[in-house]
Chains A and B, each alone.
Chain A
């Protein structure tokens, strides 16, 4: 079975400060990890993904995420937060072993950037 944990319901950060949204995962095989962002009453927008290679993945809108196998984490980061980054962020995982499987989403973390 695969699972994703986003331990923080909400993260508050001042505009211009660095932000981190935490995610840990559990899979039996090799993970395929994603971050998506959702604005109110909208679908999810893809930010970035990790399959293999460099542990630091760069994505859209200046976001990046660091894959840490030993800690089974895939935290989302941005050096300088913008008010427009305020949204709901979802971490997701797919287990690549054993063929195609569904993606499991975390419960989401609300990011509030304070002007």
Chain B
């Protein structure tokens, strides 16, 4: 299957700082990328959907000014958590797929964020 990478795999930061997480599709062109957040022992919560070259579509309740998403190329999307606070600590997972709605989403390994 297709490979999606995320960097960093884990990050610890101080409250008030910003953190950028990268998501890359390594062997296919990802027209669409998704960002999820996963709390312990819970399912994935979709935060936003981004299409290459256009603005991301955020799910209800997700602050777009806090979680900045950029999808500048067909292989890279970034999520920036601005002015991070301890409640932003979570496991963030990206996924990527091609343009066809029937295409499978392939997931990155996730990024563990801890805000002190």
Interface residues of A, Cβ cutoff 8 Å to B = 32, 34, 36, 41-46, 49, 51, 90, 94, 96, 99-103, 105-108
B102–A45 CB distance below 8 A: no
A107–B43 CB distance below 8 A: yes
A42–B43 CB distance below 8 A: no
Partner of B104, one of A41, A42, A49, A106: A49
- Chain A residue contacts of B61, Cβ below 8 A: none
Complex CA–CA separation, A102 to B50 (angstroms): 12
- Chain A residue contacts of B112, Cβ below 8 A: 41
Complex CA–CA separation, A42 to B34 (angstroms): 16
Q: Determine whether B105 belongs to the interface, using a CB cutoff of 8 Å to chain A.
A: yes
Q: Determine whether B77 belongs to the interface, using a CB cutoff of 8 Å to chain A.
A: no
Give B86 Cβ to nearest chain A Cβ, in Å: 19
A44–B104 CB distance below 8 A: no
Name the residue in B42, B43, B46, B91 with the highest tally of chain A Cβ atoms < 10 Å from its Cβ. B43
Size of interface on B: residues with Cβ below 8 Å to A: 22
Complex CA–CA separation, A32 to B101 (angstroms): 10
Q: For A96, give the chain B residue with the smallest CB separation.
A: B101
A100–B110 CB distance below 8 A: no
Number of A-B contacts (CB under 8 A): 51
Q: Determine whether B25 belongs to the interface, using a CB cutoff of 8 Å to chain A.
A: no
Give B43 Cβ to nearest chain A Cβ, in Å: 5
Interface of B is mostly: strand
Interface of A is mostly: loop
A108–B43 CB distance below 8 A: yes
Complex CA–CA separation, A32 to B100 (angstroms): 13
- Chain B residue contacts of A46, Cβ below 8 A: 1, 104-107
Q: For B108, give the chain A residue with the smallest CB separation.
A: A43
**7 shortest A-B CB distances, which residue pairs?**
A43-B107, A44-B107, A100-B101, A43-B109, A43-B110, A107-B43, A105-B43
Give B31 Cβ to nearest chain A Cβ, in Å: 10
Give a binary string over B23-38; 1 marks a CB under 8 Å from any A CB, 0 the rest. Answer: 0000000000010000
